[in-house]
């Protein structure tokens, strides 16, 4: 096969093949998550869709496989490791996010039901890489060294793991809000014990007796048993998170990074606005989807633990990668640290995640406070990644765009 054919194949493998596989894996896995605490019992007595989880996991592994195949083909097409420009970094980040998330959730922590969210995140990162697509090509000679593969892969892998941590962090905050809302709902509403359907003025007032009875199923392992019918509990949890506030908050939060595309000097204003809006609205949609899934999530404290574990690993990787970068800089530029915008921003990211880890060890900021700092730290990471490559001029302006 010629180089051009390989390049075309790598592109097809990336989008649509990998992208669609991630999306379908996300859909199947998320749907199977809803069947775990099944409301909809079929006539045969089996919970509908209970067998979907293995299908979803198989799809997820296939997606990861297709992604690896893309990386290999792209590497062959340009006869070098695909670690040379922003598209390739984002692609690798998505791969680490998907593969790392899969390994962590299915093998290490045995929580395969959460794979859907990782797949959703991977789909978004894969799609976002298309914003900075660059055809396969040769490397700048200064980048042509094993230091690059080493430094870049460690940093990019850490960014991927940070992204997993961000997903868990976001879910943790949503679930925590929902649990608080549920606790309030229980406090303010008489429990429908015995006389289900009694007139009450809480969020459960609209439920009929049939619904309340049909909703009683065996509690899930994470289900802490509030005594409420499952449907009412789900309603109360979702009601605790105002969709409008969530949407506006997500939009504003995403804007802290997406403005970069408007400010990119190489893009036109209309183009940049379209990109920024697309990113913001996609994230808003994701937040709203996550809100709908809140009742199916494990307890907030478990999500918090997952977020901490992943961020701790990524923090170690980031520290290591930054030190490796300094060593390469000493070798290549003749100084180990020069406060180049990228170095400064990498340091900023390091501080932000260090603040998260410290906040988690501090009484008063543990839990929600740390969660918010974690979200902010991820925004800083994305800022470091996009803004410094696209907007601020420095030695690391390697987006590969023209």
User: What residues line the site for another protein (CB under 8 A)?
Assistant: 7, 78, 109, 135-138, 140-142, 144-145, 147, 299, 301-302, 304-305, 308-309, 312-313, 315-316, 319-320, 323, 326-328, 330-336, 338-341, 344-345, 347-348, 351-352, 354-355, 357-366, 380, 384, 387-388, 392-394
Residue 13 C-beta: closest distance to another protein, Å: 18
Nearer to another protein, 254 or 359 (CB): 359
For 223, other C-beta atoms within 10 Å of its C-beta total 15
Instruction: Compute the distance between CA of residue 158 and CA of residue 155 in angstroms, rounded to an integer.
Output: 5
DSSP single-letter state for residue 114: G
Nearer to another protein, 40 or 142 (CB): 142
Dihedral sign, Cα of residue 42, residue 45, residue 47, residue 49: negative
Nearer to another protein, 77 or 196 (CB): 77
Residue 145 C-beta: closest distance to another protein, Å: 4
Radius of gyration of the chain measured on its C-alpha atoms: 23
Residue 356 C-beta: closest distance to another protein, Å: 9
Residue 217 C-beta: closest distance to another protein, Å: 21
Nearer to another protein, 242 or 331 (CB): 331
The vertex-144 CA angle with 142 and 148, nearest 5°, equals: 95
Structure tokens at 318: 């980031």
Residue 158 C-beta: closest distance to another protein, Å: 13
Structure tokens at 24: 């379908």
Nearer to another protein, 36 or 111 (CB): 111
Residue 27 C-beta: closest distance to another protein, Å: 29
CB 126 within 8 A of CB 15: yes
**For residue 324, with 0-12 CB atoms within 10 Å meaning exposed, 13-18 middle and 19 or more buried, which class applies?**
middle
Measure Cα distances from 339 to 63, 142, 322, 327, 336 in Å.
39, 19, 13, 14, 10
- CB burial of 273-300 (b: ≥16 within 10 Å; e: otherwise) equals eebbbebbebbbebbeebbebbbbbbeb
Nearer to another protein, 233 or 343 (CB): 343
Please, which residues have CB within 8 angstroms of residue 253's CB and are 6 or more apart in sequence? 283, 375, 379
Nearer to another protein, 270 or 334 (CB): 334
Residue 156 C-beta: closest distance to another protein, Å: 19
**φ and ψ at 49, to 5 degrees?**
80, 15
The vertex-281 CA angle with 277 and 282, nearest 5°, equals: 115
Residue 198 C-beta: closest distance to another protein, Å: 34
Nearer to another protein, 157 or 204 (CB): 157
Nearer to another protein, 296 or 350 (CB): 350
Structure tokens at 274: 């379209």
Residue 78 C-beta: closest distance to another protein, Å: 7
């Amino acid at each position: 096969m010629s180089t051009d054919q390989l390049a075309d194949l790598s592109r097809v493998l990336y989008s649509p093949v990998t992208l669609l596989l991630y999306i379908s894996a996300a859909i199947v896995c998320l749907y199977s998550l809803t069947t775990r605490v099944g409301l909809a019992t079929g006539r045969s007595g089996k919970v509908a869709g209970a067998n979907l989880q293995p299908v979803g996991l198989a799809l997820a592994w296939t997606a990861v496989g297709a992604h690896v195949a893309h990386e290999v083909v792209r590497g062959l097409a340009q006869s070098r490791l695909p670690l040379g420009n922003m598209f390739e970094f984002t692609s690798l980040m998505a791969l680490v996010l998907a593969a790392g998330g899969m390994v962590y959730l299915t093998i290490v922590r045995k929580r395969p039901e959460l794979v859907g969210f990782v797949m959703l995140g991977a789909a978004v990162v894969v799609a976002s890489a298309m914003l900075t697509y660059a055809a396969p090509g040769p490397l700048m000679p200064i980048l042509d060294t094993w230091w690059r593969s080493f430094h870049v892969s460690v940093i990019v892998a850490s960014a991927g793991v940070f992204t997993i941590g961000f997903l868990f962090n976001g879910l943790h905050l949503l679930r925590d809000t929902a649990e608080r809302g549920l606790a309030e709902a229980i406090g303010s509403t008489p429990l429908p014990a015995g006389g289900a359907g009694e007139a009450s003025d809480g969020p459960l007032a609209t439920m009929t007796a049939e619904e309340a009875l049909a909703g009683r199923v065996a509690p899930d392992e994470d289900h802490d048993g509030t005594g409420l019918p499952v449907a009412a509990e789900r309603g109360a949890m979702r009601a605790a998170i105002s969709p409008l506030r969530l949407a506006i908050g997500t939009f504003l939060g995403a804007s802290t990074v997406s403005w970069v595309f408007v400010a990119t000097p190489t893009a036109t204003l209309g183009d940049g606005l379209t990109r920024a809006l697309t990113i913001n609205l996609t994230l808003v949609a994701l937040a709203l989807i996550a809100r709908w899934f809140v009742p199916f999530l494990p307890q907030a404290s478990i999500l918090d633990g997952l977020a901490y574990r992943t961020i701790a690993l990524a923090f170690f990787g980031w520290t290591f990668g930054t030190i490796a970068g300094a060593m390469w800089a000493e070798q290549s530029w003749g100084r180990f640290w020069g406060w180049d915008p990228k170095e400064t921003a990498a340091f900023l990211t390091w501080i932000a995640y260090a603040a998260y880890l410290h906040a988690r060890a501090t009484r008063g900021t543990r839990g929600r406070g740390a969660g918010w700092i974690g979200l902010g730290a991820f925004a800083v990471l994305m800022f470091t990644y996009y803004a410094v490559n696209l907007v601020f001029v420095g030695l690391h302006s390697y987006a590969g765009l023209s």
